[in-house]
Amino acid sequence: MPDGGARVLDAGLARSKHLLLLGADVTDDEVEALVLSRFPEAGRVNATVLALTPQAAVEGPWAVPDPAALGAGPEITQAYAITVPAQRGDPVPEGLRGLGGILDAFADGPPEGHELAIVEFAQAAARRLGGAVRVAGTGALITPEPGVDLAVHSEVWLHPDALVHVLTPALPGVALHLAPDSDPDPEPGARPAAAPPTRPRPPAPAGTEDLDEGERAWIHAEADAFDAHALAAEPATEAYGAVHALPDGGTIAVEVEAEVSVPLVLEGLDWARSGVIRYDLRWFPAEPEAYHSAPLDAPAVAARERATVLVEGAARALLDAIGGETTDDDGFLVDP
């Protein structure tokens, strides 16, 4: 958030740089936190310049006294200027125009390579912080829609029946959706690959303190049974999922699997070093084509808001039961 002495964004800088446009409630620390979660080698050059990579940097905040001149709404009060070498492809085909996002903003030639990575980060940061991205040269504005999908990352593998038990209060009627050759009750000696290696189990995993003794014991019993299977044989590869049907015809899908590698934002956590289980919570709207163009109509926005409440509730239910961390669809840590 720029103070009273902040530098004012001038027209020349606004034309020559991509801009991350933000509201007054966003702090410099929040911007830096998002940068570090995507670019761990980033560092301060000085008080106002943060190097993302050797070729890219953000500078700011700059005060924006006239957001309308940038094509932005009155909620925009500050900007971060982005320096990155341009790398552009061929013009976007006509059939892919009009869908919004990066392709529309760079219709004459979308960014590629390093520039694309930086622009995608700016778009993700704008979504997370409720802002927008203004493209250098053309002044095209990218205003990302809020995301719905979340992922809970934990050291705990839930048996399919345990997952349904945990999620039912948040997603009534949630049901398992297994592959045709899957068995929710594997024979002794079989265990999904997503299960973490056997290790001593603490009396109460992080996040289970608010559950009653019966619920904790039930979850522990399921996990202990799988640990016993793991002693008898090498783990087998098997992920699984569950679905919750929405009254409007949409679906919330839950997908459970082992992380192939530890997500960047979790690398500093001790528990993540032994393996991470990922619980994806994804919303599939009844009419996905309604979300392919902007602005969204009122029914589409209302459906998204209802789904957001349910997805966040499901994420909280998982965190209460098994602990861990939550990320949004852009990989940023969130608190649902």
Q: What's the pLDDT tens digit per position in 266-281?
A: 998 999 998 999 999 9
Chain segment 136-180, per-residue pLDDT in tens: 999 999 999 999 999 999 999 999 999 999 999 999 999 998 654
Q: How confident is the model at residue 71 (pLDDT cuts 50, 70, 90)?
A: very high
Evaluated on CA atoms 213, 219, 222, 227, the torsion sign reads: negative
Supply the pLDDT for residue 14. 94
pTM: 0.79
